[in-house]
């Protein structure tokens, strides 16, 4: 998930999620497969997207990854801490060193935001994605018919 200027975007997404996806509000808990790491995110995610970039793919081992963005201050690690791997010049990825679950994507220069892996959530059905991003590298056999907008990168606005 490469970053573009997204100051205005964050505001509009929050508004949209409030009206269209009331279920996404509240407390979202999750953790890794072995249970060494547990986290809680409060409030509404400011972004939920299916990411088709090659890095998300390799990090998870899946054909694509779904991340939900929260304000860092709303996310707490109640048990354990992820280990971070510097996956690019601008970002780091957190995972469980014991079982390998992909948990976090965060930017080096903006620590106010954090993205959590939706597959690691206890109730992923509550965090429905709103878009597909980095679709130029989407695996060809993935056929979605979800009507979600598709972006070649992280949408600027």
Write down the least CB distance from residue 139 to another protein, Å: 5
Binding site for another protein (CB under 8 A): 31-34, 50, 55, 57-66, 83, 85, 87, 93, 95-103, 117-120, 124-125, 128-129, 139-146
Closer to another protein at the Cβ: 109 or 125?
125
Instruction: Name residue, tokens 């998300």.
Output: 56
Closer to another protein at the Cβ: 5 or 140?
140
Paired strand residues for 147? none
Closer to another protein at the Cβ: 32 or 133?
32
Write down the least CB distance from residue 63 to another protein, Å: 5
With residue 19 as reference, give the H or E element that holds it. Answer: helix 7-20
Query: For residues 39 and 76, is the Cβ–Cβ distance under 8 A?
Result: yes
- DSSP letters spanning 58-90: HHHSSS-EEEEEEEGGGEEEEE---EEE--SSS
65: exposed, middle or buried (Cβ count in 10 Å: 0-12, 13-18, 19+): buried
Write down the least CB distance from residue 5 to another protein, Å: 26
Write down the least CB distance from residue 68 to another protein, Å: 11
Closer to another protein at the Cβ: 4 or 99?
99
């Amino acid at each position: 998930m490469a970053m573009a200027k997204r100051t205005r975007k964050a505001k509009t997404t929050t508004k949209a999620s409030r009206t269209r996806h009331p279920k996404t509000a509240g407390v979202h808990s999750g953790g890794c497969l072995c249970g060494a790491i547990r986290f809680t995110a409060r409030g509404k995610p400011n972004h939920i997207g299916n990411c088709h970039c090659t890095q998300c793919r390799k990090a998870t081992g899946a054909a694509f990854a779904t991340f939900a963005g929260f304000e860092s201050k709303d996310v707490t690690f109640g048990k354990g801490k992820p280990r971070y791997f510097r996956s690019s010049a601008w970002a780091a990825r957190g995972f469980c060193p014991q079982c390998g679950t992909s948990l976090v994507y965060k930017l080096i220069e903006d620590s106010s935001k954090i993205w959590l892996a939706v597959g690691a959530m206890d109730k992923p059905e509550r965090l429905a994605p709103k878009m597909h991003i980095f679709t130029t590298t989407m695996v060809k056999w993935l056929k979605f018919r979800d009507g979600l907008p598709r972006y070649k990168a992280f949408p600027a606005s």
